[in-house]
């Protein structure tokens, strides 16, 4: 369970850094948001990427660490249901990445799949 948590946290960290880069204007738009905006994302999508980088992914990382008992945050959900929910969300993300018409975005499919598996392993070990 601890190894799964570390793998998930590393991958989620990579995703957070990628979203931060998008928010800061790095021209990786072809690899995100359906590839609809190759190059620098428009302002609205940059804001969404910033929220993902600064709030969503760090929140998920904290939930994963709490559920795996690597850190303890009493007020956070870290139960089996939460981890199965995250496994399902990242499984859907895997499917969405695989179905993307953007070739560069498909690189995120194995990352999402690995996170989904890690979340399932944590849920199963709770």
- Domain span at residue 11? 2-124
- Total tally of structural domains belonging to the chain: 1
**pLDDT > 70 fraction of the chain, expressed in percent and rounded:** 98
- Which residue blocks in 1-126 are alpha helix, DSSP H? 2-23, 43-51, 57-67, 80-99, 108-124
Q: What is the pLDDT of residues 39-83, one digit of tens each?
A: 999 999 999 999 999 999 999 999 999 999 888 887 876 688 899
Q: Which has the closest alpha carbon to 111: 85, 91, 81, 86?
A: 91
Query: Is residue 12 within 8 Å of 118, Cβ to Cβ?
Result: no
């Amino acid at each position: 369970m601890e190894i799964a948590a570390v793998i998930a946290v590393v991958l989620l960290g990579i995703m957070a850094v990628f979203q931060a880069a998008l928010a800061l204007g790095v021209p990786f738009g072809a690899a995100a948001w359906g590839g609809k905006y190759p190059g620098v994302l428009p302002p609205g999508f940059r804001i969404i990427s910033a929220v993902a980088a600064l709030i969503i992914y760090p929140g998920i990382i904290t939930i994963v660490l709490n559920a795996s008992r690597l850190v303890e945050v009493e007020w956070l959900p870290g139960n089996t249901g939460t981890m199965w929910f995250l496994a399902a969300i990242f499984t859907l993300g895997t499917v969405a990445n695989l179905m993307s018409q953007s070739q560069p975005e498909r690189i995120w499919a194995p990352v999402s799949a690995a996170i989904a598996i890690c979340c399932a392993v944590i849920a199963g070990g709770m």
